[in-house]
Amino acid sequence: MNQEQFAHLLKARAFCLLALSPLIPLSYLIHFRRERMKLALGYLMTVMMLFSLFCLASFDSKQDLQAGYSAFPYLLISLFAIFPVPLSLSLQLAACIMVAMLGGNWLLLGQPLWSAATLDQFWLLALFALASAWVQCGQLNMLLQLYRESTTDELTGMMNRRLMMKQLEQARARFLYQQQPFALLLLDLDRFKRINDHYGHLAGDAVLKEVAACLAEQLEEGMVLGRYGGEEFVILLPKCSSGRQAMQFAEQLRLAVEARLIKSPTSDELLEVTVSIGVALMYSAESSESLLNRADERLYQAKVAGRNCVVGEPVAPDQSVA
């Protein structure tokens, strides 16, 4: 490498370093948001591919220095194995890298597209892409499993409280910014402690599973069901602006649970289970905790009223649900 080539390479290295430096502060602003991750990955790919193509045009392909920089495309494809992007996107980006690399060899070095060298490069790039995709599939499966374990109630298989609260916050945000009303139902099994004490915890678990299945069967499209804790369940009714509508659906749930007989796993007895339900509608820009408290107050009133009933709140004339 002569002095002129070294000067060009030094400038290219400085440009590449300066171009990549914004990724350091940008990494603190990503916050694991997919669109920002895609933008950062695309920027990283563009800078490194431009540097690789510059080296391809500036140095002879037989030089040791060029042999080192020619590994950049393979390095970029390998990054897909650890970068949290969808598999389809990673394969598309790998195809773009292949086209840029093979096109650069053809335009800058005059290497024929139908040659042994081109086929070797294509085969090696495809091999790296497939290996990266295989590793990424394994990581995605592991992440999906971890996500399910962290957001699913182990006993009933429905949403746990953490995910349910996120759903509630999203419904609240839609109410604030899009004026989409919704109702919240808080359900509690009546005298559940007696079941555990008299029939055992296995029977209690069977009751929770059956009640969860019964509630899920009654849900309509868009409705969200989750276990709030213990023997309590939460249901979100989207686009529900009528207290009468929410009360009617809650009554439908109460009757469905009351009609289902649950066989005890520890005996041949059929257990009768009932639920008390509190209903609350989102009226104003209140917090999720405030809405839950109102539903809990109605649930408490249902318990005081003798259980196995539904209690809603009256809609004041000056309150409106958009």
pLDDT digits (tens, 9 = 90+) for 298-310: 999 999 999 999 9
Q: Which contacts (CB < 8 Å, 24+ apart) does range 176-179 have?
A: 176/285, 179/322
Inside any domain, residue 322:
no
Of 27 and 127, the structure prediction assigns the larger pLDDT to 127
Where is the domain boundary, 118, 151, 184?
151
Provide, rounded to the nearest whole percent, the portion of the chain with pLDDT above 70.
85
Structural domain range at position 245: 161-311
Answer for the pair 307, 274: CB distance below 8 angstroms, yes or no.
yes
pLDDT recorded at residue 92 = 81
Shared domain check, 137 and 13: yes
For 229-271, what is each residue's pLDDT tens digit?
889 999 999 988 888 999 999 999 999 999 999 988 888 789 9
Where is the domain boundary, 151, 176, 203?
151
Shared domain check, 142 and 44: yes
Inside any domain, residue 199:
yes
pLDDT recorded at residue 87 = 75
Q: 35, 231, 232, 289: which is the annotated catalytic residue?
A: 231
Shared domain check, 171 and 282: yes
Answer for the pair 233, 212: CB distance below 8 angstroms, yes or no.
yes
> What is the chain's mean pLDDT, rounded?
82
Count CB atoms within 10 A of the CB of residue 111.
Answer: 15
Residue with tokens 């509508």: 245
Inside any domain, residue 206:
yes
Average pLDDT over residues 107-120: 77
Provide, rounded to the nearest whole percent, the portion of the chain with pLDDT above 90.
36
Closest C-alpha among 174, 61, 157 to residue 109: 61
Range with lowest mean pLDDT among 28-37, 49-58, 100-109: 28-37
DSSP state of 219: P
Burial class of residue 60 (count of CB atoms within 10 Å of its CB; 0-12, 13-18, 19+): exposed
Closest C-alpha among 302, 175, 182, 312 to residue 248: 312
pLDDT recorded at residue 216 = 94
Shared domain check, 103 and 51: yes
Where is the domain boundary, 151, 186, 214?
151
Range with lowest mean pLDDT among 62-71, 74-83, 277-286: 62-71
Average pLDDT over residues 122-132: 81
Per-residue pLDDT for 288 more than 80?
yes
Does the active-site annotation cover 231?
A: yes
Of 114 and 318, the structure prediction assigns the larger pLDDT to 114
pLDDT recorded at residue 318 = 41
Shared domain check, 223 and 140: no
Shared domain check, 282 and 242: yes
Report the CATH number that the domain containing residue 183 is assigned in CATH.
3.30.70.270
List phi, psi (to 5°) of 226. -150, 160
Average pLDDT over residues 179-205: 92
Shared domain check, 142 and 92: yes
Inside any domain, residue 156:
no
pLDDT recorded at residue 60 = 57
List of E strands, 224-286: 224-229, 232-238, 261-263, 270-272, 275-281
Question: Count of domains in the chain?
Answer: 2
Pairing mode of beta strands 232-238, 261-263 = unpaired
Task: State how far the Cα of 105 lies from the Cα of 247, in Å rounded to an integer.
Answer: 70
Inside any domain, residue 320:
no
